[in-house]
Amino acid sequence: MTTAKARPGHSPRIHLATVLRYGWPVLALLAILWFPFDWLSTVWPAFGVPFRAVFRNAHDHFVGHTVFFLLVGLLILAYLPALRRRPQWYFPGLALAALVQETIQAIFRGQAPAFTDLNAFKGDALGGTLAFALWALWLLVPLLRRGAAANHDMTLR
């Protein structure tokens, strides 16, 4: 039986503490994203009434998923700025988050995950993509301003 070499001063407990210390906002966002609100609306009528009022039909469900993933995407990209420069990590993470969310919802409904709710997936994809695009635009504006100011300075000479 082999064991992993322990680096001096680096115990697994310290590593876990560091991950939790700096990663708790991401874990909190994922917990909110993956919380089974549909299930909660069935077991807690005081929550169910407004929940059903907001998510009345397929269109409202689509809009809800879009807004939810937009907000979570914006917050994730704010907290993990490296993802703004790495769409090859962000978009697969977005797809995984959507699949996990649908899986959790299905389990709490007592069903096997079928991944047939394309309406929800389209909303997830739209919201997450809008979050990425808004961050890209936010980061692009100062570059465009600097470029415009440099061009303006060149024309004055």
Q: Classify residue 62: in a domain, yes or no.
A: yes
Give the structural domain span for 82. Answer: 27-138
The per-residue pLDDT for 150 is 66
State the Cα–Cα distance between residues 119 and 125, nearest whole angstrom: 10
Q: Classify residue 86: in a domain, yes or no.
A: yes
Q: Classify residue 33: in a domain, yes or no.
A: yes
Q: Classify residue 150: in a domain, yes or no.
A: no
Q: Classify residue 94: in a domain, yes or no.
A: yes
pTM for the structure as a whole: 0.79
Quickly list H helices, 80-117: 87-108
The per-residue pLDDT for 153 is 59
Which residues, given as ranges, of the chain have pLDDT below 50?
Answer: 1-2
Tell me how many domains the chain contains: 1
Nearest to 95 by CA among 62, 117, 68, 128: 128
Is 45 within 8 Å of 39 (Cβ atoms)?
Answer: no
